Structure 1
Amino acid sequence: MQLSVIILNYNVRHFLELCVSSVEAALVDFDSEIIVIDNNSSDDSCQMMKERFPEVQLIENKENSGFPKGNNIGVAKAKGKYICILNPDTVVAEDTFVKVLAFAERQKNLGIIGVKLIDGAGKFLPESKRGTPTPWVAFTKITALYKLFPNTTLFDRYYAGHLAKNQTGEVEILVGAFMVMEKQLYLDVGGFDEDCFMYSDDIDLSYMVLQKRKSNYYFHETTVIHYKGESTVKDSTYMKRFQEAMNFFYKKHFKVSVLFSIFMKIGILFFSVIKMFQGKRIVQKGKKHFVLYSKNNSLVNKLANVLQKKVVFHDLNTEKMELPSLTPPELPIEILLDANTIPFKKCIAFMEILKNKRFTFKIVSKENEFLIGSDNSNERGTVVKIDV
């Protein structure tokens, strides 16, 4: 088998459904499998999987065993030469795996491949490519020196500043939302370290692969949506686990002084507090336009009833994704992308093209059951159910 896609889920039923729909569309021409591991969700994730995707292998854990252990359970069942560790709050394009595996086959000393990630507003996520967070690199991150001195080798290593977002090349650290590697390499390094519950597991795995003298790559030629934060409420528990995760990585891989350890503890606390407040939901106030991009005109009235607003229809039979003239033009625009009639790749491309503060996006799910999306990377996403 060529590829096994491993998706670990915890209480994100609607995002999982959208994710698996996109993965199925991307695996049409592959000898492949999808394995979903559920970490004892309290929502109806498992029931949805059984009803909507009976062909997908579903593993139902009886407890929330954390990100590393959950993924290790899935990989143990995988039959593919390659595995893809994939978050449930992601959307892949129809040609994502075609491009990534073609790139993988060309490499002679392959480690892990990551791709360009964007958030729900179409904006590039800098964590798509990172450097090893050595004590100095971590210092530049926590003190924001990387922002004050961009494009400076001494300060820009945290987000792998030697590579532009539209440039493929070697990097040290990749994000666990999307990782492709050979299954055997994953097993050779021991997989995700189960002593880390979550948050630094992807850093640790990337670093262990580097220690095997393998090359990790950031691959920019396909884009994946990562809504972020769907499985985690950024509360006091988040802060505690974030601190534990960073301490875990430093104790495992670096010898640091007591003074630096104290500084890092203060810095991690400060950084995690910022993350907690960033995670508070940002409510967009005021009126907005709604524009539906679809080939199905009958969907307009249904969405207008759900949103209690007028929805402007843009017929994609014209093959042009241009914005219609709207009055008043200064109002923010919510773009509704119909995944039933628009390829996921086109949805992703449109979000990248129109990324700015004026536009927000929601995707209409397969079967027209819900709208889903998020307005920025610091908030949890929104699900709006549609009466079928």
Structure 2
Amino acid sequence: MLQLSIVIVNYRSANYIIDCLSSAFKFASAQQYEWIIVDNHSQDHSRQLITAQFPMVHWIDMGYNAGFARANNQGIRQAKTSMVLLLNPDTLIIDDAIENCMLRMQQNQECIAAAVQLLNPDGSPQITGNFFMKGGLNHLLPLPYLGAFLRKIAFAANVKKTNVQRAGIAEKADWINGAFLMVKQTAIDKAGLLDEDFFLYAEEIEWCSRLGKYGILMVFGDLFTTHLQGESINSATNSADKGYFNLYDKKGLQLMVSNHVRIRKQFGVGWFLVHLLVFTFEIPLFFVCSFFHHLLRLKNPLSQWQLIKQYTKNVFILWQLSPVIVANTPHFYKMF
């Protein structure tokens, strides 16, 4: 009897998914799972390529690029099992991590969601478990110059870290990276599905804030999965940035908007406005600091002008969206 459904969202990521499935099917346990691929209107040969090697997958066509939340929700709705794993295409399973994670969750009644320790391709740990900070203030850290200043203040004040660099055997967390997120259906029934206002980014954070009301979230630090981190989305947006500190291109705009939407939903209008005003104040600060920073080093003081220009454009778009965000009315925040 099937006990676990694995949902993978595809957007022109066939080669990554084939590698992911190949890594999972090295272990006999993979044949006991329900594999669901949700396609976000790839309009390529993804289905033929994947099903040719893995004909058992259940394929769902969204018919449009629905993003992370809506596509995963469709997979969850069609899952026939008591647990669901949301798995990124750009992941590689190590040492039967899926099966071992599932068994531990079954043995722990309090644990309603879990992840394994994510690794970078070189084997170094990738942040998997995270903690909430009051008002989501950690989202100010990517800001140029101001973010570095705030980080120094937090370090001097011995502020609690917002993440677990490398998890212990079983480490509690407030939210889990969406690259590998296993959840019990009983918790989903209570907390609801992912919020479909989100297109990409921050949706799993907001979801975990609701799931956490009904049990604990864990990271199993002795189970591992490699995460290539952002390969598929970078290909779609022509972005070279693999982290979450990008505020300048289309990917940066999506990050900026999604994080502000999450703050509004989780912490309220007041904290949303605080973030919006700080991001706006950063515009003149960015220009002044960049100008004198480069001038004092005998470099072109306008060398970052294009970044400043694009950052300003993204903040302006955020202001345009702010009435809808404040009202918290249903809206699909798709930025590309």
TM, length-normalised to structure 1: 0.62
Q: Which residue is equivalent to 2:276? A: 261
Q: Which residue is equivalent to 2:264? A: 251
Distance change (3 Å), C-alpha of 1:266 and 1:248: farther
Quote the Cα distance in structure 1 between the aligned partners of 2:170 and 2:276: 35
Cα shift at 1:43: 3.2
Quote the Cα distance in structure 2 between the aligned partners of 1:182 and 1:259: 35
Distance change (3 Å), C-alpha of 1:139 and 1:246: closer
Q: Which residue is equivalent to 1:221? A: 222
Quote the Cα distance in structure 2 between the aligned partners of 1:191 and 1:29: 25
Q: Which amino acid aligns with 1:177?
A: A
Q: Which residue is equivalent to 1:73? A: 74
Deviations 1:289-331, CA, capped at 9 Å, x for gaps:
xxxxxxxxxxxxxxxxxxxxxxxxxxxxxxxxxxxxxxxxxxx
Q: Which amino acid aligns with 1:227?
A: L
Deviations 1:74-104, CA, capped at 9 Å, x for gaps:
1111111111100000011242123212211
Q: Is contact 1:114–1:218 with CA below 8 Å preserved after alignment?
A: yes
Q: Is contact 2:29–2:99 with CA below 8 Å preserved after alignment?
A: no
Q: Is contact 1:27–1:97 with CA below 8 Å preserved after alignment?
A: no
How large is the RMSD of aligned CA atoms in angstroms? 2.9
Distance change (3 Å), C-alpha of 1:195 and 1:165: same
Q: Which amino acid aligns with 1:134?
A: K
Distance change (3 Å), C-alpha of 1:267 and 1:44: farther
Q: Which amino acid aligns with 2:250?
A: T
Cα shift at 1:259: 4.2
Q: Which residue is equivalent to 1:236? A: 249
Cα shift at 1:115: 1.3
Q: Which amino acid aligns with 1:107?
A: N
Distance change (3 Å), C-alpha of 1:69 and 1:147: same
Distance change (3 Å), C-alpha of 1:64 and 1:55: same
Moved more, 234-243 or 59-68: 234-243
Q: Which residue is equivalent to 1:165? A: 167
Cα shift at 1:207: 0.7
Deviations 1:269-302, CA, capped at 9 Å, x for gaps:
x8xx79x9xxxxxxxxxxxxxxxxxxxxxxxxxx
Distance change (3 Å), C-alpha of 1:144 and 1:221: farther
Q: Is contact 1:137–1:155 with CA below 8 Å preserved after alignment?
A: no
Q: Is contact 1:115–1:222 with CA below 8 Å preserved after alignment?
A: yes
Cα shift at 1:122: 2.0
Q: Which amino acid aligns with 1:242?
A: L
Equivalent runs, 1:149-188 vs 2, <5 Å: 154-160=158-164, 164-188=166-190
Q: Which amino acid aligns with 1:252?
A: K
Q: Which residue is equivalent to 2:22? A: 21
Quote the Cα distance in structure 2 between the aligned partners of 1:261 and 1:141: 14
Quote the Cα distance in structure 2 between the aligned partners of 1:39 and 1:29: 24
Deviations 1:220-279, CA, capped at 9 Å, x for gaps:
1111011011221337221221111011111111132544431156679x8xx79x9xxx
TM, length-normalised to structure 2: 0.71
Q: Which amino acid aligns with 1:199?
A: Y
SS of the residue corresponding to residue 85 of structure 1 reads: strand
Q: Is contact 1:40–1:63 with CA below 8 Å preserved after alignment?
A: yes
Q: Is contact 2:121–2:228 with CA below 8 Å preserved after alignment?
A: yes
Distance change (3 Å), C-alpha of 1:136 and 1:49: closer
Distance change (3 Å), C-alpha of 1:191 and 1:266: farther
More helix by share: 2
Distance change (3 Å), C-alpha of 1:261 and 1:59: same
Q: Is contact 1:3–1:81 with CA below 8 Å preserved after alignment?
A: yes
Cα shift at 1:219: 0.9
Q: Which amino acid aligns with 2:277?
A: I
Structure 2 portions without partners, runs of 5+: 240-247, 287-306, 311-336
Q: Which residue is equivalent to 2:317? A: none
